[in-house]
Amino acid sequence: METRVEGGAIFTCETCSLSTPFTYFGQKPPNTRAIVLLEESYVLKDPFSPDREKFIVLGSSCTVCSKVVCVGTECSLFYTRRFCLPCVRENLDQFPQQIQVELAKKKAPLHT
């Protein structure tokens, strides 16, 4: 599944409500030679870089609940696939201990 976005499309994180335009959704951003992302992602071409291959990964969809979440550490976690933090917390026993420890250090989200 690949979508080339012509403009005007907005990526919105369903967890923190971060909202920003994106230019591409998929695993291989256009105009890049050797870059293949680990997951289908919302990508924005870096507007501040003259380098055509520079881009920013904004977010992706949670593997469990399909919510669109940003890559911010307060919103999602990448462990072989993308998970939103609420889903990580619900299935915490299925994640390795290292991730459980990492998450225990974070405070619970303010809005649940």
Q: Give the residues lining the site for Zn ion (CB under 5 A).
A: 13, 15-16, 18, 62, 64-65, 70, 72, 75, 84, 87
23 vs 69, which CB is nearer to Zn ion? Answer: 69
**Nearest distance in Å: CB 50, Zn ion:** 28
Spatial CA neighbour of 75 closest among 103, 100, 40, 33: 103
18 vs 32, which CB is nearer to Zn ion? Answer: 18
Instruction: Please tell me the distance from the alpha carbon of residue 55 to that of residue 30, in angstroms, as a whole number.
Output: 10
Instruction: Please tell me the distance from the alpha carbon of residue 44 to that of residue 57, in angstroms, as a whole number.
Output: 6
Q: Which two tokens stand for residue 14?
A: 């369903």
Burial class (CB in 10 A: 0-12, 13-18, 19+), 96: exposed
**Nearest distance in Å: CB 4, Zn ion:** 24
16 vs 32, which CB is nearer to Zn ion? Answer: 16
**Nearest distance in Å: CB 52, Zn ion:** 27
**Nearest distance in Å: CB 19, Zn ion:** 10
Strand (E) or helix (H) holding 100: helix 97-105
55 vs 77, which CB is nearer to Zn ion? Answer: 77
